[in-house]
Structure 1
Amino acid sequence: MNVSHQNTDNLNAVISIEITKADYQDKVDKSLRAYGQKANIPGFRKGKVPFSILTKMFGKSVRVEEINRLVSEALYNYIRDNKLNILGEPMTAEDMTVDLDAQDDFTFRFDVALAPELDVKVDKKIKVPYYTITVDDDMVKRQNEAFLSRFGKQVSVDESTDERDLIKGSMVELASDGTPLEGGITVESTIVSPNYFKSDDEKAKFAGVKKGDKVVFNPSKSCNASVAELASMLNTDKEKAANVTADFEMTVTDITHLQPAELNQELFDNVFGKDVVKSEEEYFAKLREMIARQLVPESDYKFSIDARAAIEKAVGDFELPDAFLKRWLLATDKERKAETIDDDYSRMVPDLKWQLIKEQIVKQFDIHVDDNDLKALAKRVAASQFAQYGMTGVPDDVLERYGNEMLSSKETRSRLINQATEQKIQTAIKESVTLNHKEVSMEKFQKLFETAE
């Protein structure tokens, strides 16, 4: 067997694999004998089928299978051993013809696309803006109000003073004349929250309502005729709720109001942990620090966009093996159409070029991800997920257990490897380029994206 390759240009090559009968026949004979030991063929005992019969019955298919296996191994071993940096996958040469029935010796030819050689150097010569978002007083105020609500308590009150109050009561369906509808829907007990009403007119009917009041409103209008919401509000099934359009009279039996937490040590401990903060001044300073940390990912995201643009500009434009890649995309994705491949491909080119640049950055900084990196990232992801449900300060062993469960999934592990690699690339870029630090308000920061678009 002989394997060689020849460049047709800087971005395309052909790999040729020449094999003779001697390269594969022993493997074919061995496979046939192994098959004969297991095959159940009428008229013969298992393991006693004559080799000539096996060859006649299965020789052709086994021969094809062994040739394909031999060629595939030779192709990918050659690419690996010769360190060919290819794009996509090798494809059978369009002008290659092979007759597996008539030939014993073969020459298989494969077209391959070669990645362009890039001169990528990320250093201080590359200047990238880094925007730090200013934490203003309104941000601190909103965050404080959020914590006051989160750690507040529900109390029963006589009168509603907030549209977020929960109104509990009984309901009865009304006829067109405003009297209870005979045979209509009666709800012994339900809870409504005007804050979630879709109609401002219906919401206004509950303003200042008191215990014992009777309120006439239209449940259907309050939720834009959402069958699921109606069924829940009226304690009935969806089929019945779908036909409800009438007004209802609700007799208020109770009002639950969220009483915000007080600005005291109990709140400080709930938010930041026991005795971490001991005064209002420290509390608001910590809030400001916390918000600033939460805004860092926003700044980093904008930096990643600007850094990519700056590095791409420094590298300059470069060509890709366009014809091959379009052919490969059509062959490997049956959903793609020949008439749209040019448009599809043009949309993919920017990200493909950036991916090739990133591969060079990985080499420049010798970036790799090990088990410790994955475990640390998995714990951070677990902590973030807990935080979404308001659970902070989760013990380290719990985070580690959840992280290990994530890594046990092959799909999740692969995703985390990609995420960790991406983070290391961004860190390497951030530490190596020249950062032009700029402080901006949130409003101006958001407008930076509008300008980019």
Structure 2
Amino acid sequence: MKVTLNKTDHVNGIIAIELEKPDYQENVDKSLNQFRHKANIPGFRQGKVPKGIIQKMYGKSILAEEINKLVSNELYKYIKDNELNILGEPLPNEEEQKTIDFDKDENFEFKFDIALAPEFELPLNKRDTLTYYNVKLEDDLLDKQHDAYKQNYGTYKKVETEAVETDLIKGRITEIDNGEPKENLIEIENGMIMPSYLKDEETKKKFVGAKVGDSIVFNPKTAYDNNAAEIASLLQIAKENVPDVINSDFSFEIQEVTRYEEAEMNQELFDKVLGEGAVSSEEDFKSKITELLNNQFKPAADNLFMKSARELILKKLKDVEFPDAFLKRWLLVANEKNSEETIENDYPKIAEDLKYHLSKEKIVKEQDIKIEDADLEAFATEVAKAQFAQYGMSNVPADVVENYVKRLLGDQNTVRNMYDQLVENKVMEWLKQTIKVNEKEIPSKDFEKLLSEEKEEK
């Protein structure tokens, strides 16, 4: 067997594989014997079919199959052993390939076209300048977030004063008829109403201003604008039973009024939001919250920076040549949905993506960038905490975070995406050290506008 590479130019080549009978005959004989023992042919017991009959009936197809397997294995072995950086996949040569005759030939030659990744330099230095945006949340938005924390971590407290619209009123609800308890009545000992949820303004006025000890007569149908689900919830009955009581009046004997009070800006709130002992003053609390909120913009800022870096790299590599004819042919073969017209239209973008991909591969290889298991686990922890933070959960118990991280690392697609992101992050750090970076502070509203404009340009 002989395998050779003929480079037709710096990005195209032809791999030739020459086979002689000793290279493949042993595998062919082995496959024929295996097939003979399994074959069911009328007139012969299984496993007793003469070899000559098997050879006559199936010899050609088995020969072709074994040679194809051998050629494929040797082709990719040669590419791997010689560390050829190919683009796409090898394709059968259409010009130099001789016709194969499995009936007559004993020696065979197969030729494959391959596309070689171009070799290039990446001339980046401190004369190249890019902008990195440090996004800062505006003071009014920070104040709203502080208020939201106080609201979220507040508590209900009993009050003896008159009820307001947002109070929670608790008491006994009794079905009545002409002001008296009804036979077979509905009676709820632990009824609850919040006036702000009542649809009828007149009913709402009855509860607003009421206090413990008052008894209010109302009609649930009117109060909730005939909403069966809300009536059923109030009276603690099945929704389908609502029509049976829809016209009844009820009395509500107020036993307790509770009012929601915002949390105070104190150590208890700091510990609930950030974890016990994380900060010890209002100044430190606000500083930490500001840092956490500003960090939520970092992924978008990173993406914008890398988009600019991509444009810079493509500009540097504008004269790098690709095996365009081969790649267009391979794209046509690789996906049956492609047509020559769609490939011609899409190819400029495909070529740019490929150039950028190769440039990142070059950086990773030359800078010996590696991602270890510890890197993945640490990044998964950051991802988990960031996802919880999006829902205002900045102080999640360690065991909850740990379990979520295990779920992330148990999903292969998620791990692959995180691996790619870590590589991207390390490439970005190298770029920041290699070129000149102008760091620019920008208000979050202006940054959102910038992102919107970028999206419209696509």
Per the normalisation by structure 2, the TM-score is 0.74
Post-superposition Cα deviations, 1:335-390, rounded to whole Å, max 9, x if no partner, equal 22333222232332322221111111112211122222223223333333444552
> CA 1:418–1:257 in structure 2 vs 1: closer, same or farther (change >3 Å)?
farther
Letter of the 1:345 counterpart? Y
Alignment of 1:115-154 (within 5 A): 115-153=117-155
Over the residues paired in the alignment, what is the CA RMSD in angstroms?
4.1
Q: How far apart, CA to CA, are the structure 1 residues paired with 2:86 and 2:200? A: 63
Corresponding residue for residue 80 of structure 2: 80
Q: How far apart, CA to CA, are the structure 2 residues paired with 1:112 and 1:292? A: 49
Asked if the contact 2:317–2:355 (Cα under 8 Å) also holds between the matched residues in 1, the reply is no
Q: 1:100 aligns with which of 99, 102, 125?
A: 102
Alpha-carbon distance, 1:207 to partner: 9.0
Alpha-carbon distance, 1:419 to partner: 2.3
DSSP 3-state at the match of 2:297: helix
Alpha-carbon distance, 1:271 to partner: 0.9
Corresponding residue for residue 392 of structure 1: 395
Q: How far apart, CA to CA, are the structure 2 residues paired with 1:203 and 1:8? A: 85
Matched, 1:355 2:357: yes
> CA 1:407–1:286 in structure 2 vs 1: closer, same or farther (change >3 Å)?
closer
Post-superposition Cα deviations, 1:310-341, rounded to whole Å, max 9, x if no partner, equal 33333444332222222212211122233322
> CA 1:136–1:384 in structure 2 vs 1: closer, same or farther (change >3 Å)?
closer
Greater shift in the superposed pair: 21-30 or 124-133: 124-133
Alignment of 1:368-447 (within 5 A): 368-388=370-390, 390=393, 392-395=395-398, 399-447=401-449
DSSP 3-state at the match of 2:83: coil
Corresponding residue for residue 66 of structure 1: 66
Corresponding residue for residue 111 of structure 2: 109
Asked if the contact 2:126–2:434 (Cα under 8 Å) also holds between the matched residues in 1, the reply is yes
Letter of the 2:61 counterpart? S
Alignment of 1:280-299 (within 5 A): 280-299=282-301
Q: How far apart, CA to CA, are the structure 1 residues paired with 2:66 and 2:37? A: 18
Asked if the contact 1:126–1:314 (Cα under 8 Å) also holds between the matched residues in 2, the reply is no
Post-superposition Cα deviations, 1:275-312, rounded to whole Å, max 9, x if no partner, equal 33333233222222222333333332222222222333
Higher radius of gyration, 1 or 2: 2
Corresponding residue for residue 22 of structure 2: 22
Q: How far apart, CA to CA, are the structure 2 residues paired with 1:192 and 1:147? A: 22
> CA 1:299–1:345 in structure 2 vs 1: closer, same or farther (change >3 Å)?
same
Letter of the 2:397 counterpart? V
Q: How far apart, CA to CA, are the structure 2 residues paired with 1:293 and 1:33? A: 67
Asked if the contact 1:190–1:233 (Cα under 8 Å) also holds between the matched residues in 2, the reply is no
Asked if the contact 2:5–2:16 (Cα under 8 Å) also holds between the matched residues in 1, the reply is yes
Listed as ranges, the gaps of 5+ residues in structure 2 are 171-187, 211-215, 234-238, 241-246
How many residues were matched structurally?
408
Asked if the contact 1:133–1:439 (Cα under 8 Å) also holds between the matched residues in 2, the reply is yes
Q: How far apart, CA to CA, are the structure 2 residues paired with 1:249 and 1:93? A: 88
Asked if the contact 1:92–1:111 (Cα under 8 Å) also holds between the matched residues in 2, the reply is yes
Alignment of 1:225-264 (within 5 A): 259-264=261-266
Alignment of 1:201-240 (within 5 A): 210=208
Alpha-carbon distance, 1:265 to partner: 2.2
Alignment of 1:31-42 (within 5 A): 31-39=31-39
Letter of the 1:268 counterpart? F
Post-superposition Cα deviations, 1:144-202, rounded to whole Å, max 9, x if no partner, equal 1221232234679986757xx9999xxxxxxxxxxxxxxxxxxx99999999xxxxxx9
Alpha-carbon distance, 1:250 to partner: 12
- The alignment-based identity, stated in percent, is 41
Q: 1:325 aligns with which of 319, 324, 327?
A: 327
Q: How far apart, CA to CA, are the structure 1 residues paired with 2:427 and 2:288? A: 31
Asked if the contact 2:195–2:204 (Cα under 8 Å) also holds between the matched residues in 1, the reply is no
Q: How far apart, CA to CA, are the structure 1 residues paired with 2:426 and 2:76? A: 29
Per the normalisation by structure 1, the TM-score is 0.75
> CA 1:7–1:269 in structure 2 vs 1: closer, same or farther (change >3 Å)?
same
Corresponding residue for residue 306 of structure 1: 308
Corresponding residue for residue 174 of structure 1: none
Post-superposition Cα deviations, 1:388-424, rounded to whole Å, max 9, x if no partner, equal 55263432x6645543444344333333322222222
